[in-house]
Structure 1
Amino acid sequence: MSALADLKPQHFNWRMDGSVAVITLDRPERKNPLTFESYAELRDTFREMVYADDVDAVVFASNGGNFCSGGDVHDIIGPLLDRDMKGLLEFTRMTGDLVKAMIGCGKPIIAAVDGVCVGAGAIVAMASDIRFATSEAKTAFLFTRVGLAACDMGACAILPRIIGQGRANELLFTGRTMSAEEGERWGFFNRLIEADALEKEAVAYAQRLATGPNFGHMMTKTMLKQEWAMSIDEAIEAEAQAQAICMQTKDFRRAYDAFVAKQKPIFEGD
């Protein structure tokens, strides 16, 4: 295993609150756009998180009243116009790799969305496991607004699973903004929270998850990903195997012993 608590990234903010990692993008004056460098560093960080035994959950939070304004117009979109097909594919694969790394990191990710959450920012929120937002959250998958297809970074696969095919179709074809109230009603946001309490509540929620059976959380997240491509019979068998593995953990024994002693179990993730 490895440690990430002392990570000092160059292209985003990182802090630890207990065993919860809190990430924010660090350009609030421009509503926190992503750059080539921040994409790559976030991707690499989530990849490393698989092996980090000092991170049990992640909060991807807002900064300066906004979550993320997507790919930076000057730092990304402009330079892409000069790339050939090979260079363009290198970029689109890299951005998709960030989503793969988030889904595959083995840790629950909570997005705390305030203000602007558009383009790749909306994708980051989508790729998180739980999403909280303020009433001022404005979410848009605006790829068609810049002359592109809406099939970006897994949007056409993941968004319909969250909010339903018809609603996803509308947002993806039009690129229009989904209000916070719509997002909550449609199931994109799990709850709406006042702005001054958003990050605090998201971190508290992540900390509650972090006190749970973290090996079990990893297995849950793994199966949520793998079962997308399984039949029901395959999924039931895969879950039988996964649960049998979890029954070999010490946390399973701890839960039983605590129940017998009429105490609350203290999980240690092993």
Structure 2
Amino acid sequence: MSDDHTDPRLLAGNRRPMAGYQATHFLWTVEQGVATITLNRPERKNPLTFDSYAELRDLFHRLKWADDVKAVVVAGAGGNFSSGGDVHDIIGPLVRLKAPELLMFTRMTGELVKTMRACPQPIVAAVDGVCAGAGAIVAMASDLRLGTARSKTAFLFNRVGLAGCDMGACAILPRIVGQGRASELLYTGRSLGGEEGERWGFFNRLCEPEALLADAQALAAQLTQGPSFANGITKTMLHQEWAMTIEQAIEAEAQAQALCMLTQDFTRAYEAFVARRQPVFEGN
């Protein structure tokens, strides 16, 4: 799957570098294939606004075509991940809206989760401190989650008079922690502590707070050294197979794996094995 003989017009329409992207409502950096999104309103524990929801949605959508971003880290500034939707900038205005505008909002927030799941890059959430409401959803929608002992994750929608079925929570959270545990979190809105979250499988592991971001970026960097095309296929299949029977999933995986066997990375791995050296993957 080399680009050597690919029509440059095709590449121009499907390869969009993102290292130079200028974020407006959060921080964005790219270093050696790892993009870091930092929610940056620490004085309010990094709440989301109408603007940041929309920009995050559009950014993750654009990552489908990014050829210089192989993994993404999402973090919060100032010792907290995110307190969720801003009470003054979002909750207050929502109580005055009518149904069409409310549906516009809920579809926009849901679209953020869709674009996070649809982008091919693995997403690592670095969760410290408060991780509540929509912040908990962003962590949930990530592929991997690193936490701290002091992290507090709460799907607190019922505490503000809403259902727990927000932004895909009733579909995704049970697949991470199990139906019973997800039900408890969504019915009660209670906080899930860091150590409990690791036991439940919500967090892949816990880190020291001062090392959390570096550990998340190191994990993301490790992922960038793998076969990025194949990793994107893995992410796609993990998501799509939720709605498949076992028979359908096995056939879909057969087709996906055959496609990966056509990549040069597959050949590189074989040649490296024969030569008794580590393969260097290039994502093609």
| TM-score band w.r.t. shorter chain | over 0.9
Q: Distance in 2 between matches of 1:175 and 1:233?
A: 37
Q: 1:17 offset after TM fit, Å?
A: 2.1
Partner letter of residue 44 of structure 1? D
Partner letter of residue 218 of structure 2? A
Instruction: Indicate whether 1:204 and 2:218 are aligned.
Output: yes
1:233 equivalent in structure 2: 247
1:79 equivalent in structure 2: 93
Q: Distance in 2 between matches of 1:18 and 1:236?
A: 35
Q: 1:62 offset after TM fit, Å?
A: 2.3
**Matching of residues 1-270 of structure 1 within 5 Å:** 1-270=15-284
For residues 180-206 of structure 1, the C-alpha deviation after alignment (integer angstroms, 9 at most, x for no partner) is 111000000000000111000110110
For residues 20-64 of structure 1, the C-alpha deviation after alignment (integer angstroms, 9 at most, x for no partner) is 000111100000000000000000000000000000000001210
Instruction: Work out whether residues 116 and 142 of structure 2, in 8 Å CA contact, stay in contact via their aligned partners in 1.
Output: yes
For residues 105-144 of structure 1, the C-alpha deviation after alignment (integer angstroms, 9 at most, x for no partner) is 0100000000000000000000000000111100000000
Question: Normalising to structure 2: TM-score of the pair?
Answer: 0.95
Instruction: Work out whether residues 158 and 186 of structure 2, in 8 Å CA contact, stay in contact via their aligned partners in 1.
Output: yes
Q: Distance in 2 between matches of 1:182 and 1:93?
A: 31
Q: Distance in 1 between matches of 2:196 and 2:70?
A: 30
For residues 159-194 of structure 1, the C-alpha deviation after alignment (integer angstroms, 9 at most, x for no partner) is 000000000000000000011111000000000000
Q: Distance in 2 between matches of 1:159 and 1:140?
A: 12
SS at structure 1 position matched to 2:120: coil
Q: Distance in 1 between matches of 2:17 and 2:95?
A: 39
Query: Runs of 5+ in structure 1 lacking a partner?
Result: none
Q: Distance in 2 between matches of 1:258 and 1:19?
A: 23
SS at structure 2 position matched to 1:82: coil
Query: Runs of 5+ in structure 2 lacking a partner?
Result: 1-14
4+ long deviations beyond 3 Å: none
Identity, in percent, stands at 66
For residues 69-107 of structure 1, the C-alpha deviation after alignment (integer angstroms, 9 at most, x for no partner) is 000000001111111100000000000000000000010
In the alignment of these two chains, the number of paired residues is 270
Q: Distance in 1 between matches of 2:180 and 2:276?
A: 48
Q: Distance in 1 between matches of 2:161 and 2:168?
A: 18
